[in-house]
Amino acid sequence: WTSFAPEFKELDENVEYDEDEGDFDEMDE
């Protein structure tokens, strides 16, 4: 199944997403 979803990273546990400062921005100078 990795060929079906090549960039998919397999996890055993949920991981917390560490937000990026620009996550909320559509356009940043």
Partner 1 sequence: DLLKFNQLKFRKKQLKFARSGIHDWGLFAMEDIAADEMVIEYVGQRIRPLIADIREKQYETIGIGSSYLFRIDSESIIDATKCGNLARFINHSCNPNCYAKIITVDGVKKIVIYSKQPIAVNEEITYDYKFPIEEDKISCLCGTPNCRGTLN
Partner 2 sequence: QVMLALHDRATQLKVTEGRTAVTGDKGYASIRATHFVSRGTWYYEATITEMAENAATRIGFAQALANLQAPIGFDKFGYSWRSRKGTKFHDSRGLHYSDEGYGKGDTLGFLIHLPVEAT
Question: Which residues lie below 8 Å from residue 8, measured CB to CB, with a gap of 6+?
Answer: 2
- Pattern of binders to partner 2 over 1-29, x per CB under 8 A? -----------------xx-x-xxxxxxx
CB 3 within 8 A of CB 9: no
- Residues 1 to 29 in contact with partner 1, rule: CB under 8 A: 1, 4, 7-17, 19, 23-24
6 binds, among partner 2, partner 1, none (CB under 5 to 8 A by kind): none
Region for 4 from its dihedrals, namely left if φ exceeds 0, alpha if ψ lies in -120 to 50, beta otherwise: alpha
Q: Which is nearer to partner 1, 4 or 28 (CB)?
A: 4
